[in-house]
Amino acid sequence: MALNWFKKKKKSENDEPSGPQDSPGFQEEDGRADDIPEEQGLPAGESQPPEEPREQEEKEQTQDVPRQGLFARLKRGLAKTRKILTSDIDDLFRGRKYLDDEMLEQLEELLITSDMGVQTTMDLMAAVAKKSRRIDGAEALKQVLKEEILKLFGDLEPQQPDAGTGPRVIMVVGVNGVGKTTTIGKLAARATAEGKSVLIAAADTFRAAATEQLTIWAQRAGAEIVKHRENADPAAVAFDSVRAAVARGTDLVLIDTAGRLHTRVNLMEELKKIKRSVAKNLEGAPHEILLVLDATTGQNALSQAKIFNEALEITGLALTKLDGTAKGGIVVSICSSLRIPLRYIGVGEGIDDLQVFDPARFVEALF
């Protein structure tokens, strides 16, 4: 099998790290909040909306969105990655019917380009080579890839832990800018649409704009919000939120946290403190520690997951911005190399652009 490309890739990785993707994953004082206007972090519609205003779509949020609508949005979101995996695979077979060595090498490159990761790509290539006699054209190859990717997703545990009695508490963590606040807004909207009561805790107290942004999302979603003053102790906000939710009989608490402090160690210590303060109020809480990862950072997301998991024992992942990247293969890479279930994927900035990760639907949308 043609693994020359992989050797070349390894060499070039060692030679020159390519920008933020290869950084350790933590942008400490990188100036995101300082250099970029505060509105940048606001939900779509508050700054420069990427598309037409989504009034119609926003109306849908409170209704049961039909499966076809979800699938169409997922396909739209995955368009860039799908291009690699479909038209580029079609191109491979132009004028040829069966896979030869050169085509295998090109296929390997396509899989790496879509950010499946080296190990996953090698596993997929081995499977394709085994079944190469069966592969008599682009469609047959796509079918084999679908089957093999589904196998890699195979033993994922889709169920979320039960909260038992009392509110279910989800603490949302991740480095700055990955989409934590947006994901919370979307999760809150999903829950209120299902008739659940939701309380959002503004435990990112380090920027006034963070709380403002969260307040807008809470209003859109019809959720309550608990906030303190800027620079208040985040753990105290989380503590008060859970106490209020227990007293009010709220169904769901979503805790927003900061993605950047002065040092990496401090961020982790701060997050651990929030986790402990939540547990003090409600046994078993937080029921979920959801790590948000940005798909556009590619393989870097994997190293972030490892670091957060060591500190906090992450129970679930949300992968955002799949619509902004051709590297949707990162989903396969994450699912096959991490032991943490991928719960949600973000395929746009709109309130209804967060989907429960469904492997079969995802694979269908990818090809």
Ligand X SMILES: Nc1nc2c(ncn2[C@@H]2O[C@H](COP(=O)(O)OP(=O)(O)OP(=O)(O)O)[C@@H](O)[C@H]2O)c(=O)[nH]1
* Residues found near ligand X in the complex (CB under 6 A): 41, 43-44, 174, 176-182, 204, 210, 259, 320-321, 323-324, 346-349, 353
Decide whether 210 or 302 has the Cβ nearer to Mg ion: 210
- Which listed option, Mg ion, ligand X, none, makes contact with residue 45 (CB within 5 to 8 Å by class)? none
Decide whether 259 or 359 has the Cβ nearer to ligand X: 259
- Which listed option, Mg ion, ligand X, none, makes contact with residue 240 (CB within 5 to 8 Å by class)? none
Site string for Mg ion, 168-197 (x = CB under 5 A): ------------xx----------------
Decide whether 5 or 71 has the Cβ nearer to ligand X: 71
How many residues of this chain bind Mg ion (CB under 5 A)?
2
Cβ(6)–Cβ(122) under 8 Å?
Answer: yes
Write down the residue that tokens 């985040």 correspond to.
Answer: 234
Nearest approach, Cβ of 38 to ligand X (angstroms)? 10
Buried-exposed string 106-144: b where 16+ CB fall within 10 A, e elsewhere? bbbbbbbbbbbbbebbbbbbebbeebbeebeebebbbeb
Residue 205 in the binding site for Mg ion (CB under 5 A): no
Nearest approach, Cβ of 173 to Mg ion (angstroms)? 11
Longest alpha-carbon distance in the chain: 69
Please provide residue 76's backbone torsions phi and psi, each rounded to the nearest 5 degrees.
-60, -45
Nearest approach, Cβ of 33 to ligand X (angstroms)? 7
Alpha-carbon distance of 356 to 301, in angstroms, equals 19
Nearest approach, Cβ of 128 to ligand X (angstroms)? 30
Q: Which among 271, 303, 297 is positioned nearest to 286, based on CA atoms?
A: 271
Residue 211 in the binding site for Mg ion (CB under 5 A): no
Q: What are the helix (H) ranges across the chain?
A: 4-15, 32-35, 55-60, 67-77, 79-85, 87-92, 101-113, 118-130, 138-153, 180-193, 208-221, 234-248, 264-281, 300-312, 330-337, 359-366
- Which listed option, Mg ion, ligand X, none, makes contact with residue 324 (CB within 5 to 8 Å by class)? ligand X
- Which listed option, Mg ion, ligand X, none, makes contact with residue 323 (CB within 5 to 8 Å by class)? ligand X
Residues that bind Mg ion (CB under 5 A): 180-181
